[in-house]
Structure 1
């Protein structure tokens, strides 16, 4: 028998990251994500952000991952055509999509921001992160700017 530790060179796991969450938001462990944050209650709703991470092959684009994240929650309409940016010097590549839907008679918006780490396993997989923010459309002014600020603070560490 050979003792094998994980992560390792063959299966490196997800690249570590950090982000800046507002002090009044609560961090929670989601069922399927890596970490989630809940905003303070407002209008019987809590704006929230869930961070997902997966090892994915190069062939799956960040834009495809963003669109899939929005469609996983059910039928949505894309609010804008989205943004796809290659990595700038010292930065990360990013894809952004946003959508809207009606839940229990209330319009809800979602923002999906997807990025990746520069790591590649021997089989070609890389760490891909999806940040999915949800807020009430009629609270877009305070909540959307807070969510985009948290998402913009995302950075890889090591």
Structure 2
């Protein structure tokens, strides 16, 4: 019998990362994500950021992953049809999508930012990270800039 440790060269697991969050936000462990952050309550809502990570094949584009992150059974209106940027020198490739919907009579917006690590397993899988931010549309000036700052702070640990 052979003892196999994980992660390993065949199954490398997710690439390590870090992200900066405002001190007044609470970190929580989500059911399906890697980590989540909740803003202090404001106007009966808590803006939030959930970070997901998966090993995905190369033929699934970052834009497709972002669109899947926003897809659910709620009717949505596309706010930004999308931004796809290849990796800049020293940077990460990124796809951005945003949408809006109405929940309990209030307009809610979501931003999905997806990026990937340069790792590839022998089967072609790579680490893909989705950051999904949710906030009230009428608090966009404050919450959207905070969420985008958090998302921009995402970096891989080498």
Which residues in structure 2 correspond to 1:71-110 (within 5 Å)? 71-72=71-72, 74-110=74-110
The offset of 1:32, in angstroms, is 0.1
Separation in 1, partners of 2:121, 2:75 = 34
Any gaps of 5 or more consecutive residues in structure 2? Answer: none
List, as ranges, runs of 4+ consecutive aligned residues in structure 1 with deviation greater than 3 Å: none
Whether 2:47 is the aligned partner of 1:47: answer yes
Structure 2 equivalent of residue 152 of structure 1? 152
Separation in 1, partners of 2:130, 2:10 = 23
Which residues in structure 2 correspond to 1:1-158 (within 5 Å)? 1-72=1-72, 74-158=74-158
Any gaps of 5 or more consecutive residues in structure 1? Answer: none
The offset of 1:128, in angstroms, is 0.2
Q: Encode CA deviations 1:22-77: one digit per residue, 9 max, x unaligned.
A: 00000000000000000000001000000000000000000000000000363311
Q: Encode CA deviations 1:109-139: one digit per residue, 9 max, x unaligned.
A: 0000000000000000000000000000000
Q: Encode CA deviations 1:86-105: one digit per residue, 9 max, x unaligned.
A: 00000000000000000000
Q: SS where residue 63 of structure 2 aligns?
A: helix
Aligned positions, number? 158
